[in-house]
Structure 1
C-alpha cells in the first residue's frame, strides 16, 4: 500500500512533462471526482456541498471545497505547491545547422537546473501551441507531447577536456547545453523545420500555428530503486510530488466546516512574479470571490483570512550520504523519516513556533513521523512560496516538504514511504 502512492506519483509525473500537462492532468482528475470548472471572466455561483476549480494560463490551478461552517468564523485550509521545474525552453527561430551535417536547437535555461545531469540522455519536447482563431485576442490553445526520444545534449569526450572531472569545470548555457535534433541530408528542409515538425505531430497546417511554448524533458520514466525499493528515482519531484500529494488528499478528504483550498502555482523556479505565480494577487482574488460568493462582506473576508492556515509545500533537502558536512549537525532530515518542517531565523521560510506546533500536531493525528530542517549556519539557503504568498495575505502558515537528494537534477531521488506519509498528513489537515 505504501509503495502504491509512490508508483502513482511516478505515473503522474511521466504524464506531466511540462507545467501545462501537470495542470491538465490535475484538472482531469478533479473533474473525474465531481469538481466543476469555473472561469475567471465569468460570474461565479458558489454553493455549499459542491466542489470547484479555476485555472490560470493553463499552468496554475486553484481547487476549493466550500466548508459547511460560517466562512468568516472558520476560514480556509490551504495547501500550496507549484507546477514548474527547471528545464530548457526552446527559443524562437531555434534551428542551428552545424557544418551542413547536424541540426541543433537554440535553447534558454529555465530556472536553476543541475546542467551536467542533462547530458547524454534521451530527451523529448512538450508544451503549448497557439493556433489561429476567429478572435485575434484569443488564439486556440492545444498541448503537444512528442512522447518519443528526439534529442540529446552530447557531452564532450574526456579526450578533448581532460579537466572535465575536476571541480569547478564551468559550462556555457549558450554553447554547451544545446540539444541535437537530427542529421541533415539532401532531403532536409531547414526553413521552419521545427514549426513543420510541430504541425506534422499535431496534424494541422503549419501556417495556422502562431507561436508555441516548448520545453525539453527527460524521456526516461521514473522508477523505484534501492534494495527494498525504498527510493523514488524520478524527475520533477520538486515540486510535482507535493502537487500530487495535495491533490490526493483533497480528493480523499471528508466534509468539514472550513473551506479547503489546493493552490498549484506556476513559475516558482523563476521568482513567482507572473500572473499565474505566487507573487500575483490571484489567490487573494479567488479567496475574495469565495467569501463574497458565499454571502460574506469585507469584514468577513478579513476574519476568514485571520482564521485560516496555510501549508506551503515544497520539497526539502535530505542528509546526503557523501556530503554530511553540508548539513546542520542536529537538523538534517533523512529519507523516509517523514515530512520536513523547514525553519529559518531570517524568515526565508514562514515557519515559526506556532505553525510548527500545528503541523507537528497534524502529523501526530495522521500517525506519521515528522522532521525538521535548518540550514547549516555557514551556508545560505533558498526560499519558496510561503513568504511570497504572505505578502498578499497575513495568514498563519508553515513551510514543509519531503526530503530528497539532488534537487534540480534531471533525475531526483525521494523516499517511497515519505510520499505515503505526506499524503496522510495532508488528508488529516483537510479533515480537521
Structure 2
C-alpha cells in the first residue's frame, strides 16, 4: 500500500472514530497528548515557554493547538490553519419518543446545518454525542461522550408505488418525513423515556442523574477507498474532518521554528459559527492574546504579532461533477486529485486575494503539490466558510482553500486519495517555512 493510500485510510479510521464534534475533539486531544502537548485550562494562569506544545478546548467540541516559536512573537507572529469539527446531520430533540399506529417508535429530530436530506434515507444510522449528568456543583455538571455504535435506526423511504413522481424530485418535510424509525413496540415495550433508558444502560448510570444531552445521527457504515485504481475516498464528514485530520497531522509532523504554529478547530460552522466555540466568537483571538501575555508581552505586542500573522482557512471545495458539468464555472474547474483548490469570491464569501493566493501557491510549489482555483458561476450563489467569519475577529491576511469533492453535504461524500496527501504536504511545508 502506498503512503497516499495509507494516509487516506488513516483519515477514514479517524472519521469512523469521530461520530460527533465532541468525539473529534476527544480523539485529537488524545493524539496531541501522545505527542507531548500539554492541555491548558482557560480558568487557570497559563505558563508557557518557547518551543512548548500546548492546546486548549472549548465546549468539548472546539480546540486550539499551538507550538510556540523560538522567535519574538511580536515580530514573528502566528501561522494558523483553521478547520471545523461539525457536519450536517440531525439532532435529537428533547422528549423525542413518538409512537405511531401503536406499533412504531420514531425519534423526533431537527435538521442541523444543510444536509442533502434524501441521502439519509434507507441507511443504517446510529447515535452519538454528549450526555450531561448531575455533578457536585450545579454550575459544573458532569459530561460523558456516548456512541451507540450500532445500526440503531433507519429513515425509510416511501415506495414508488405510493409516490409515482418521486424520480421527478420531491421535497421532504423535515418534521414528518425524515424522522428515524427505531423499533416496533408491544405491550411490554417501555416506550416512555426510551432514549434516556438506553443512554443510562450504555453509560451505566442512573436515569435520574441524566439532565440533558446533545445527540446527533450519523451513518453507521464505515467509509471506503473506491475506484478502479483506488483513487477515491467515499466517506461521510469529509467536509470538514479531512481538513481537521490533515491539519493536525501537519502540525504534529512539522518542526519548531521562529513563528508560532497554530491549528484551530472551530465548531458550528454548518449553522453560522455564531456560538462561543464558533469562528464568529472571540475564542481564537482570546487564545492568541493569552499566548502573548503568557510570554511576558503586552497588548501592543499582541497587535504587532497579528500584523505578522497568516491564516489558511481550510474547508472543502466543489470539484467538477462529471454528471453536472454545467454547474461549474466555465474557466475555473478544479477536479478531484488535481490538488487543493484556492477559493475566490468577488463578494468576499472567501477571504482570498491576490496576495494571500500567491502565498499559498508558493507554499504548494515548495511542497511540490499541484493546486487549482475555484470560483462559483456568476449566476450561482455559493456558500461561505470560517475564513471570512474569522476575519470579523482577527484582521490578518488569509486564504481560503479546500480539496475538491463531489456530493458535498451528502451523508456520504466523495474525495480524492491524492488530494488528501497533497493538502497535508502543503500544511507541513507551511508550518516548516
TM-score tier (shorter): over 0.9
SS in 2 for 1:20: helix
Aligned to 1:42: 44
Aligned to 1:293: 294
Aligned to 2:32: 30
**In 2, Cα distance between the equivalents of 1:177 and 1:165?**
18
**In 1, Cα distance between the equivalents of 2:400 and 2:51?**
30
Cα deviation digits, residues 227-272 of structure 1 (max 9, x gap): 0010000000000000000000000001100000000000000000
SS in 1 for 2:167: coil
Q: Do 2:68 and 2:256's aligned partners in 1 also have CA atoms closer than 8 Å?
A: no
Aligned to 1:350: 351
**In 1, Cα distance between the equivalents of 2:24 and 2:173?**
30
Aligned to 1:143: 145
Cα deviation digits, residues 143-200 of structure 1 (max 9, x gap): 0001110000000000000010003x21100011000011102210122111001101
TM-score norm. by structure 2 comes to 0.99
* Residue pairs, 1:185-224, within 5 angstroms: 185-224=186-225
**In 2, Cα distance between the equivalents of 1:389 and 1:49?**
26
* Residue pairs, 1:62-101, within 5 angstroms: 62-101=64-103
**In 2, Cα distance between the equivalents of 1:191 and 1:353?**
59
Residue 17 of structure 1: which of 11, 19, 23 is its match? 19
| Residue 280 of structure 2 is aligned to residue 279 of structure 1 | yes
SS in 2 for 1:221: coil
**Deviation of 1:215 (Å):** 0.5
Aligned to 2:393: 392
**In 1, Cα distance between the equivalents of 2:51 and 2:374?**
38
Cα deviation digits, residues 247-305 of structure 1 (max 9, x gap): 00000001100000000000000000000000000100000000111111122111100
TM-score norm. by structure 1 comes to 0.99
**In 2, Cα distance between the equivalents of 1:422 and 1:393?**
24
Residue 109 of structure 1: which of 99, 108, 111 is its match? 111
Q: Which structure 1 residue ranges, 5 or more long, are not aligned?
A: none
SS in 1 for 2:105: strand
Aligned to 2:265: 264
**Deviation of 1:49 (Å):** 2.3
**In 2, Cα distance between the equivalents of 1:299 and 1:96?**
57
**In 2, Cα distance between the equivalents of 1:347 and 1:117?**
31
Give the aligned length: 431
| Residue 143 of structure 2 is aligned to residue 164 of structure 1 | no
SS in 1 for 2:136: coil
Cα deviation digits, residues 321-352 of structure 1 (max 9, x gap): 00110001110100000000000111110000
SS in 2 for 1:132: strand
* Residue pairs, 1:237-386, within 5 angstroms: 237-386=238-387
**Deviation of 1:19 (Å):** 0.4
**Deviation of 1:110 (Å):** 0.2
**In 2, Cα distance between the equivalents of 1:305 and 1:62?**
16
**In 2, Cα distance between the equivalents of 1:424 and 1:49?**
22
SS in 2 for 1:139: strand
Aligned to 1:119: 121
Shifted more, 211-220 versus 183-192: the winner is 183-192
**In 2, Cα distance between the equivalents of 1:193 and 1:392?**
43
Misfit runs of 4+, over 3 Å: none
| Residue 48 of structure 2 is aligned to residue 56 of structure 1 | no
